[in-house]
Amino acid sequence: LEAGCSEEALDVACVLATKRTLRRTDRRVKEEQKRLFRDEIVDLDGDHATYVKALRAFRESPHPEQFCSERAMDSGTLRSAERSKPNLERWLSEMAKEDGVVLASCGEDGDSLRKALCAGFFARAARFGADATFRTLRADREIGLHPLSVHAEFGTPPEYVVFCDFGLDADGASVARHVSRCDPRVLIAEAGEYYELR
């Protein structure tokens, strides 16, 4: 709440609460759909910022089903996220009132959202190494990126990331899901003691 991006954090929480993927992955997805998704929706700060952009675009579209179809997005995920928003917003508003904080949007300021994500998911951070793999900071465990992460599909892997959870891929290897770029200075400031870096 203190980062001034509670509206964006709420959108992220709504998408995560669906426990569904944002994009369709079936064989019928065409290159044009992937291109539109990449050009209009993907935010290279990571999956969380991409969720915010997708949900905003979905809300603003006069034809949300068509909008999703043209970009190979799962409209059911975004509809479900929208349905969960009033309850989560009510809960967050009550929490903010108790703490004397006003709910706010950081607009296009990606730094505020990234800082909030780093502070919130500091225990799940990883660094990209010279061997082209991510290793968790605390346990030094190798972890890949989920194939649907924007960092895995649309960009160069960032040096540091935070992630919400992990799962196993088809080969049984650990993969990070819901991944965002993170500034290591924020990790030190927010969780230096956790990583014994202070």
Residue 191 has φ and ψ, to the nearest 5°, of: -145, 30
Q: Which amino acid is at 30?
A: K
The pTM assigned to this predicted structure is 0.91
Judge whether residue 61 has pLDDT over 80: yes
Distance from C-alpha of 147 to C-alpha of 166, rounded to nearest angstrom: 12
Q: What is the mean pLDDT of the chain?
A: 91
Judge whether residue 9 has pLDDT over 70: yes
pLDDT band at 195 (very low <50, low <70, confident <90, very high): confident
Question: pLDDT digits over 164-189, tens only?
Answer: 998 888 888 999 999 999 999 988 88
Identify the weakest region by mean pLDDT among 55-59, 113-117, 163-167, 186-190. 186-190
What is the pairing mode between strands 174-181 and 134-136?
Answer: unpaired
Per-residue pLDDT, averaged over 47-61, amounts to 96
Q: How far, CA to CA in Å, does 147 sit from each of 5, 18, 39, 89, 142?
A: 27, 19, 18, 30, 16
Query: pLDDT at position 193, please?
Result: 85
Element (H, E) at 188: helix 184-195
Query: pLDDT at position 1, please?
Result: 60
Distance from C-alpha of 48 to C-alpha of 134, rounded to nearest angstrom: 19
Judge whether residue 190 has pLDDT over 80: yes
Report yes or no: 68 and 74 within 8 Å, Cβ to Cβ: yes
Query: pLDDT at position 70, please?
Result: 96
Report yes or no: 77 and 15 within 8 Å, Cβ to Cβ: yes
Query: pLDDT at position 44, please?
Result: 94
The three-state secondary structure class of 158 is coil
pLDDT band at 100 (very low <50, low <70, confident <90, very high): confident
Judge whether residue 50 has pLDDT over 70: yes
